Chain A
Amino acid sequence: MPPTPPEPAAVLARPHTAELTGWGRTAPTASDVRRPTSATELQRALPNGSPRGLLARGLGRGYGDCAQNSGGTVVETTDVDAFTIHDADPASDTVLVTAEAGASIDRLLHALVPQGLFVPVTPGTRYVTVGGAIAADIHGKNHHRKGSWCQHVTSLHLQLADGEVVEIGPDRDPELFWATAGGMGLTGVVLDATFACPRIGSSRLLVDTDRAADLDEVLELMASGDHAYDYSVAWIDLMAGGRATGRSVLTRGRFATAEEAAPAAGPDPYAYSAGVLASAPPFVPDGLLNKLTVRAFNELWFRKAPVRRRDELQTIPTFFHPLDMVGGWNRIYGPQGFLQWQFVIPFGAEATLRRIIEELSASGCTSFLAVLKAFGEADPAPLSFPAPGWTLALDIPAGVRGLGPLLDRLDELVVAEGGRVYLAKDSRVRPELVPQMYPRLDEWRAVRNRVDPQRRIRSDLSRRLGL
């Protein structure tokens, strides 16, 4: 977390009313916020929720309203963060880790990497909790190879709406387990989880970079070459138009062996340091990010990238979490906040992908580099986001004129191709589209109704979308 000193436990355990938002800082709502300091205290929260229900919250890195519960109780898990790295046969590829829900990937990495281990999946920020990783069934740059987070979970403890604690997993009440994976916290409170962490040869990555002049080129590079890499993602400049539409920088890589890493890593192949190098100023006026500043930034960034580079050694923070180097960077969007729109459409729908990118680029709305990736197979979770196809994610300032109607139109294109948007990032999709985007929604609802018939677990997202 950004370097705010922790408040005394006694103060935090007491409920207080606070306004909360997601990472995009839009649509704040107030709730009764509790921050238990132990697993026992966490378990006590659910039976004592308010009439407007209860919801678990991790580090608030969901972009929209998924971790808010207006007028109800919100339990912040971040102080319940103990974890154990289990003993394993040195010959095994993975090692099991059991972590309490509030443990962050940041904390885990500080313990795992020096022991030659990594997390199975990491998002673009390490400031997410294990609970949030499960609730959003998060994906990373390795989705095409390793799938999403919950595919690596062997079991978890879930506290249900009536207070009962159950242990579930892919082979233990799989229905409830997969409804919890990507279930946006609505099936219960995850107390802890056990997941398999892969071994790594060093704390460095061997990275190949390719600069693609347009969309066709980057799609072709990914389609033909991703299988050779463990990790792959492209940054795409959505402000470039005309022949440069879709120009991108593709970075792909894998963990280096100790020998490969030696020139950069020095004596300790597993040395790991990750910190916040700078902080965004606490108050930023509206309109700092305008068309000119963003266009200039994107231009500079594109030109800086090598046309083709092979086997560059990069650190974990540089390769996986570059945004984390600036603390509180979400504030640069000013008081109105911003939103992230992320969708996936199946392979074969490249014409629609192109049309969406062209419309975004023509709309002139300011977007820093967006992220493009090819997903692999989906897991069995009815509300899990990833599905085979292309996913594009972009940040847009919320105050942009006509943004609502523009994204509504683009959603229609996505749905027409059988695609969907990511609920962990959503803050504005038309509720009527959700059953089309997630055709197994009713299957998920049946499980939710089984474990929470009275809807004691609620979120602003569930209210807004009628989940």
Chain B
Amino acid sequence: MRDAVGAVQSVLVLGGGSEIAQAIVDRLVGGRCRTVVLGARDITALSPVAARWQAAGATVDSFAFDALDPASHQAAVDAAFDAHGDIDMAIIAFGVLGDQATFDADPVAAADAARANYVGAVSASLAVASRFRTQGHGTLLVLSSVAGVRARADNYVYGSTKAGLDAFAQGLGDALVGTGSRVVVVRPGFVHGRMTEGMQPAPFATTPDKVADAVVAGLAKGREVIWAPAVLAPVFTVMRNLPRGVWRRVSAR
């Protein structure tokens, strides 16, 4: 159960290899979390983190999960809930950034990114939401991105998948009002890590650990949207309202 100060006792991560999600779980395990369930494409790669959380006193379990196979999502999520009892929090963490030039040359690759980031997140979130409704509580943490606030010429495929995901997550959150469950949307900026390796950092670049700190603080405060870092909230309010031509220049790298 979630407690009065926002701590949870169990967490399910879809996209268990995500650096940001792992930094969040580190903090949850440092608090009340004693059950960690990870869904990932490659579960063998998870052994080191699993060992770390087990050493901290948590039970860790993992299962095969592919965002690109929505038909499998409900069964996979059901199995996780059935095996571990109540799941207090689920994190939709999977996502691919891709490369706009590659997408321009390979429309199918672009569609695959959309299928993973948006389509897969829709089916996975709904699978979790149906279990949350049954258990009468739960927090769905959705890793969106500031890239979805306004699409940029140099990554609009990715940006549009996050825009769709973000809108979906907000709608789902509103739909869940009164069910004891809720959706928290996380909008990180540029995060140093695997996904952004070799790229030139954007202003206000941050790290998975800092994003995780912001998430934990936001959860304790009962936030519905968490920007990381927090300054991106006002920054993107301005960005979203810039005239198109100005935005084109500002967002060009």
Contact = CB atoms under 8 A, between A and B. Distances in A.
Given A52-B135, A70-B1, A70-B137, A428 B7 contact: yes
Given A398-B4, A401-B217, A29 B9 contact: no
A362 interface: no
A19 interface: yes
A24 B178 contact: no
B4 A52 contact: no
The 7 closest A-B pairs by CB, nearest first: A71-B136, A70-B136, A30-B180, A427-B4, A26-B4, A464-B1, A404-B5
Given A65-B1, A399-B222, 15 more contacts: A19-B178, A27-B137, A28-B137, A28-B180, A29-B180, A30-B181, A31-B180, A52-B136, A64-B4, A70-B1, A72-B136, A404-B5, A427-B3, A431-B9, A460-B1
11 contacts: A17-B179, A30-B178, A30-B179, A399-B222, A401-B220, A404-B220, A407-B5, A427-B4, A431-B9, A463-B86, A464-B3
A27 B178 contact: no
A335 interface: yes
B180 A70 contact: yes
Given A28-B180, A403-B5, A71 B220 contact: no
Interface of A: 17-19, 24, 26-31, 52, 64-65, 69-72, 335-337, 339, 398-399, 401, 403-404, 407, 427-428, 430-431, 460, 463-464
For the complex, would chain B's binding face be called helix, strand, loop or mixed by DSSP majority? loop
A296 B71 CA distance: 60
B210 interface: no
A26 B219 CA distance: 12
Interface in B206-222: 217, 220-222
Interface string B1-42: 111111101000000000000000000000110000000000
A30 B31 CA distance: 24
Contact of A398 (B5, B31, B135, B178): B5
B130 interface: no
B134 interface: yes
Q: Is the interface of A mostly helix, strand, loop or mixed?
A: loop
Interface of B: 1-7, 9, 31-32, 86, 133-137, 178-181, 217, 220-222
Nearest to A398: B4
Contacts of A18: 178
Contacts of B7: 404, 428
B222 A335 contact: yes
A24 B4 contact: yes
Given A71-B135, A399-B221, A19 B5 contact: no
| B1, B4, B134, B135 interface centre (most CB from chain A within 10 Å) | B4
B136 A463 contact: no
B4 A339 contact: yes
Nearest to A338: B4
Given A29-B137, A30-B137, A31-B136, A428 B222 contact: no
B230 to A, nearest CB: 14
A404 B4 CA distance: 9
Contact of A336 (B134, B181, B222): B222
A398 to B, nearest CB: 5
Contacts of A69: 136
Contacts of B3: 26-27, 404, 427-428, 464
A399 B218 CA distance: 10
A27 B32 contact: no
Contact of B4 (A19, A31, A337, A431): A337
Nearest to B9: A464
Contact of A71 (B4, B6, B134, B217): B134
Contacts of A28: 137, 180
Nearest to B221: A399
Contacts of B6: 404
Contacts of B4: 24, 26-27, 64, 337, 339, 398, 427-428
Nearest to A335: B222
Q: Which of B2, B3, B134, B217 has the most CB of A within 10 A?
A: B3
Nearest to A51: B134
Nearest to A429: B3
Nearest to B30: A405
A165 to B, nearest CB: 28
B221 A336 contact: yes
B186 to A, nearest CB: 19
Nearest to A337: B4
